[in-house]
Structure 1
């Protein structure tokens, strides 16, 4: 596969995720609304499935594109979505506009995704250094060992005291570590700090660190879609709520955990994104829920503000498409597109078709963009055999053309070609 095919496949996958992610976000919102009075575990599972679909859907599409060699073409769904957003007539010019922007789209995405990936790696390195070099505290290590036994955790849980940290955080799966702020060790009453550590034990018991890493992966790949950030945020809110419930049951004192969180609420500093922290989510909502579990349900209703990011995406898309709306390609340009036959590879006769003695003629209409690339193809008349039709479209997509012109200016234009498959 050529680099152009790879860029095309990745680019169209990223473009498609604009509408795919919006659909997933809306569906997830509806499910969460239906589960508003359910247990937080149910909402957590629904949000996790939504985020997993945000990864699985484009990954499947990319695999199909790479396997089928369709990376250089658009499809009807992209045109349909563009027409709906812009309120404009749907024409094949949209495919040309998008196809010509795939290289900068992929380049910008790759640069931003790389920056986020480096940020994630630096966070993992920081956690590793903290676990290896920060101060140990024997009395609190003994307390956390006791808590681990109460929670049924068979792995050793390490405790490190870190200066400058605002809240206890947990990282690691096989060798988990709890990082505790030095200010809390010296200044918070021991029963309250123990309640916060019980919350961290709940995260370790549930292997939440692995899910959190998965969230960071999806956020890194699809950082440009607000639905991903919203769903991921809902996962974190529900996860903290679940950990609160588990810790409160183990302590037998929900009020003690609520009091510990209220003390922590006074210190509002950001904690590391790769680790679970006791001050995650809305602390005041969590405190109220612990004190009045029957009358306060965090998921009782989704705030209408949750839809603002996706509405913003639609508005931005509308503005972009409105200003980039292409003129419909002229049916009769002054000078038609001309093929550079040196750029066209000889079509490969499918091995299975040779074995079955399949022959026939494929008639194709195709659009040549202003950059000379094939922006879209349409099957006008089939050979009667899908493999031969696909092979013809794949070969055509690799050709370069001298674009059609009108008054000396390159314009997108449709033209036609026939592939004759013969075994003579």
Structure 2
């Protein structure tokens, strides 16, 4: 078992080391593709970055599997070591590859601790999202519900999606994959107009349409496993940028109102009070990056390369290669001379590449900047002298690069684009747009400073104070005390002996009734009643009963019965008439 753990530690250690240069190479490829495809759609760039992230994880897993080997028990009793041999073996063990592998237990221990920390952070974010989507939510206004249905129809989304207001979020969020939910801060009801609400809804629905929640969950898992690799985080940053750009493009293509969308994003940023939870899809994000998004949406972004980011990426890549080269051991002393020669050649290659960058930079700036003359510099490396030429004394191989027609045409196009951008920035149209934005900002500021707005705020504060005063008043506290007292009385009565005895009597009577119903005596009575009912029904259906009924009916319909009935009615009427006459004569006699 100990041998297996040692081999596993060794495999993880080498995989962590190799993952650095693997991630560096994949990131350079990604950076090169983005440089060669500046006009590619954000969706394609996002997919390429996601594929690069998965390729980095695949390379790490493959390295672990290929490096790990199960130990095989071996025995050779004929081999014996004396003290001198042991000392020699110990010295060799402390050199080269063995010396490097000595630090792997510490590296793997740090890696496991980092994994635990990242996993805990991931679980904390998941539990926070689960709590947010279930608590402190309220239905949206009817007008927003109509806008939500229209926005979902615009993006051809047929799955069931929840849309609620929440007091637990400060920015709109899209949460979930199988049962997605969109949450809007409840404070947005009075701060966004209909057009802005529709734009923000389209942005969140775009995340759901693109399955960004599932992709982001996979991205977070990869970041958790390869948290030590800086190129994983750089690739994730590319994914985040292009994901938001893709959603922004969907919104602009659907609404055709980029300025209103940009205003909505800016307004959301002013209302934002806290960071969005992990694994959620927020509409705003980082404040510094939001400004770039707004410039891109309003077609004001400069398409110039970020020199700081490029230099940082190149420096980080070189640092990675130097670190791996320092860790990688020299397994054989005989190859030292060969390695030194290879190092010299590699250094010379790097110097030539550096010179090419200088020449290209010189060619791109040659129209405006005059470069002073420079003399060749001689550099000595490992006993050999190498001459490095600058732009004014470059060799013939670099003259071909600088004199290339395609390069000059490319440089001229860059200069033309720069001039067009400068003209646009100095144009009245652009200045008018900036003036409108500044005017709108001043109007908003003026409204916030107006007596009307301040009066509304003061009314809200006064109403809140009145409510707080009423809640803290003796009257309200007395009502609460009465309710609590009544509740305690009811609870006390339910726990009293008297109530329990009543419940026991009811249960006892119910059991007695149940026992009586189940007793043979009751069942015999029921059977007797059912028998009598059947006999009575049979008698009613018998010919004898039907003949009696027919005879009675015939007697009622006979002329004799009709004559007798008629006489009875006449005599009854005569009797009633005579009684009425006697009643009238009696009061008259009393009068006389």
The equivalent of 1:246 in structure 2 is: 250
Residue of structure 1 in register with 2:513 after alignment: none
Identify the match of residue 211 of structure 2 among 188, 192, 207.
207
Any gaps of 5 or more consecutive residues in structure 1?
Answer: 72-90, 332-424
Q: Which whole-Å deviations, capped at 9, do the CAs of 1:22-45 have from their partners, x for residues lacking one?
A: 111111111111111222222222
Q: 1:43 & 1:303 partners in 2: Cα distance?
A: 20
* Residue number in structure 2 paired with 1:289: 296
RMSD value, Cα: 3.1
Q: How far is 1:309 from its partner?
A: 5.7
Cα distance in 2, alignment partners of residues 106 and 65 from structure 1: 15
Paired with 2:241 and 2:330, the residues of 1 have a C-alpha distance of 47
The equivalent position to 1:45 in structure 2, one of 14, 29, 47, is 47
- Counterpart CA distance in 2 for 1:225 and 1:310 is 15
- Is residue 311 from structure 1 mapped to residue 315 from structure 2 by the alignment? yes
- Aligned equivalent of 1:163: 167
Q: Report the CA distance between 1:305 and its aligned residue.
A: 2.0
Structure 2 gap ranges (5+): 73-92, 335-592
Q: Whose strand proportion is higher, 1 or 2?
A: 1
Question: CA 1:17–1:287 in structure 2 vs 1: closer, same or farther (change >3 Å)?
Answer: same
1:240 touches 1:280 (CA, 8 Å); kept in 2? no
Partner of 2:6: 4
* Superposition TM-score, scaled by structure 1 size: 0.65
Shift in alpha-carbon separation, 1:174–1:289, aligned structure 2, 3 A: same
Q: For residues 306 and 183 of structure 1, do their structure 2 counterparts lie closer, same or farther at Cα, with a shift above 3 Å needed?
A: farther
Which structure has the greater CA radius of gyration?
2
Could you report, residue by residue, the CA deviation over 1:54-82 in whole angstroms, capped at 9, with x for unpaired residues?
Answer: 1111112222234x4499xxxxxxxxxxx
CA distance in 1, matches of 2:59, 2:71: 17
Distance change (3 Å), C-alpha of 1:326 and 1:95: closer
User: Hey, what's the Cα distance between the residues in 1 that align with 2:43 and 2:320?
Assistant: 35
* CA distance in 1: counterparts of 2:133 and 2:122, whole angstroms: 17
Aligned to 2:455: none
Confirm or deny: 8 A CA contact 1:185 1:193 kept in the other structure. Answer: no
* Matching residue within 23, 26, 39 for 2:25: 23
The 5-angstrom pairing of residues 311-390 of structure 1 reads: 311-312=315-316, 314-315=318-319
- The counterpart of 1:280, out of the listed 243, 263, 285, is 285
Task: Give the alignment of 1:66-215 within 5 angstroms.
Answer: 66=68, 68-69=69-70, 93-139=95-141, 140-163=144-167, 165-215=169-219
Displacement after TM superposition at 1:303 (Å): 4.2
Question: What is the rounded CA distance, in whole Å, between the counterparts of 2:172 and 2:241 in structure 1?
Answer: 17
Task: Give the whole-Å Cα distance in 1 for the aligned partners of 2:65 and 2:196.
Answer: 51
Q: Distance in 1 between matches of 2:67 and 2:329?
A: 26
Deviations 1:136-194 (A, max 9, x none): 22423453233223221121111232335332111211111112122223333332122
Report which structure shows greater RCO (CA 8 Å, sep ≥6): 1
Q: Is the 8 A contact 2:133 2:181 kept in 1?
A: yes
CA spacing shift, 1:136–1:70, aligned 2, 3 Å: farther
Match of 2:457 in 1: none
CA shift at 1:329, angstroms? 9.7
Query: 1:130·1:160 contact (CA, 8 Å) conserved in 2?
Result: no
What secondary structure does 1:280 align onto?
Answer: coil
CA 1:266/1:201 → structure 2, altered by over 3 Å: closer, same or farther? same
Q: Which runs of 4+ in 1 moved over 6 A?
A: 319-322, 324-331
